[in-house]
Amino acid sequence: MNAALDWLTKHHEDVVRGLAELVAIPSISNDGEHDHEIGRTAELTCDQMRDAGLLNVETLKVGNSLPYAYGEWLEAGPDKPTVFLYAHHDVQPVNFLDQWKSDPWKLTRRDGRLYARGSADDKAAISAFLGAIAAYRKTSNTLPVNIKMVVEGEEEIGSKNLLTFFEKYKQKIQSDVIVVLDTENVEVGTPSITYSLRGIVQLHVTVKTATIPAHSGGAGGMLADAALALNAILAKLYWGNGPVGIPGFYDRVRKLTDKERAAFAKLPSGEDKFRTEIGVLPGVRFANQEGAGLYETTWRKPAVTVIAQEASSIKGASNQVLPKAEAIVSCRIVPDQQPAEVAAQLEAFLKADAPWGAEVTVKPGGNVNWWMTDPNGPAFEAALAALRQGFDKDPVAIGSGGSIGFVGPLAQLFGGAPALLLGIEDPASNAHAPNESLHEGDFQKLMNSLVRLFDNLGKLKPGQVK
């Protein structure tokens, strides 16, 4: 292990150069216009897998999916655990170009961080995994564990083929432990392992009052305005600083344990920290319920957000009473809420007492279930010990307000395999936003931790990791 750690130190620039090669390809998945680039990134990932020392490397597809990169190393033998590594090589588009301080497709060092689209989410995960693998393979030509690594090309569009991929290649990818690098550290320098994720329930709401728009001079004040009707409906969701008013919305919400509440209280907090990280405007207060801290609110409380709204474009606006308006309403759900039940509750709430008797239709927009695990047991102990040594700081177990829908189903597919979600981003990473970045010091510490994690897991038998 010491030789592997030394290799990481000496070859850090090589690892960064590999990351630079990855982020240089605009592998944007959500517009349907960059499939060629996604294919290039998959091939480059395969090339980097081979160079790191993985074997049987190939691109894989299921149906009409975008390509996955796959590589493995199984020479540790049946007495050693098999570790499944997950990352994704597709990225979000680049918006607000005027706000970027450097080329989003060129990895740029600035103030101890590495800037580029995908530098943190999630191409850094590819480089971190391969850096730790190469550190062993380039020194001792072996690894303490068996490795199976999958790098997806569709995460940013909901991983719509991933579960089918897992089922198709179930035998090929079967593993004892799951490691995912697609979550956040609570702050720079504090290693974090995520043990709970919120889910999503999304609904498409349409309000109609007529078949065609009408001139506001002749119909204004007479014809029911669909845009106003929609906004009156959405306004019912406003909660101030109390609970959301949807009947039954909180009935199943799992309460925090005393241990969790005490752990959350020890984390770096304070409104000033969050106001700065999120860029909250002066005078705007937080919306969390009275008595609920900000971590509890974003990790373990359900939330409702209007993520899109449309009636007509401002650019093409005309003096008309609009006959139709639409919105997408997204709920983040938490343990132990049921997606179908939440969707039904929200639909009934939105359709009740429609303004002016407007026609309101609500259609499902998809959902992702929540996930939660007990962060204890041999695999978690191995991870916590590795992070503690790699960062030289005690790690913390945290929740996440985001969703990674495959974690629960994959753990079940592997017979209840422990899932280790290790932080690679931090609050300043700006994933999906301008000036996305990776803290370079934490990147190095994470790779150091991965080397130690492989070593720790290699001391266990496959049946001992749970």
Mean pLDDT of 418-427: 97
Between strands 320-321 and 371-372, the pairing is unpaired
Q: What's the pLDDT at 276?
A: 86
Structural domain contains residue 60: yes
Structural domain contains residue 353: yes
Q: What's the pLDDT at 158?
A: 86
Structural domain contains residue 437: yes
Give me the CATH number covering residue 122.
3.40.630.10
Q: Do 314 and 176 have their domain in common?
A: no
Q: pLDDT tens across 104-142, in order? A: 999 999 999 999 999 999 999 999 999 999 999 999 999
> What does pTM read for this prediction?
0.92
Structural domain contains residue 56: yes
Residues 6+ away with beta carbon under 8 Å from 397: 192, 193, 194, 195, 263, 375
Say whether 404 sits in a helix, a strand or coil.
coil
Reported confidence tier of residue 278, pLDDT bands at 50, 70, 90? confident
Q: pLDDT tens across 437-462, in order? A: 999 999 999 999 999 999 999 999 99
Q: What's the pLDDT at 363?
A: 97
The residue range of the domain holding 343 is 199-253+302-367
State percent of the chain over pLDDT 70. Answer: 100
Q: Do 176 and 96 have their domain in common?
A: yes
Mean pLDDT of 347-356: 98
Q: Do 191 and 203 have their domain in common?
A: no
Q: What's the pLDDT at 95?
A: 87
CA 414 to chain centre: 21
Give me the CATH number covering residue 248.
3.30.70.360
Q: Do 82 and 6 have their domain in common?
A: yes
Tally of domains in the chain: 2
Residues forming beta bridges with residue 150, ordered by sequence position: 70, 86
At 407, which helix (H) or strand (E)? helix 407-413
Q: pLDDT tens across 163-195, in order? A: 999 999 999 999 999 999 999 999 999 999 999
Q: Do 122 and 169 have their domain in common?
A: yes
Residue 313 burial by CB count (10 A; 0-12/13-18/19+): exposed, middle or buried? exposed
Q: Do 191 and 204 have their domain in common?
A: no
Residue 72 has pLDDT above 80, yes or no: yes
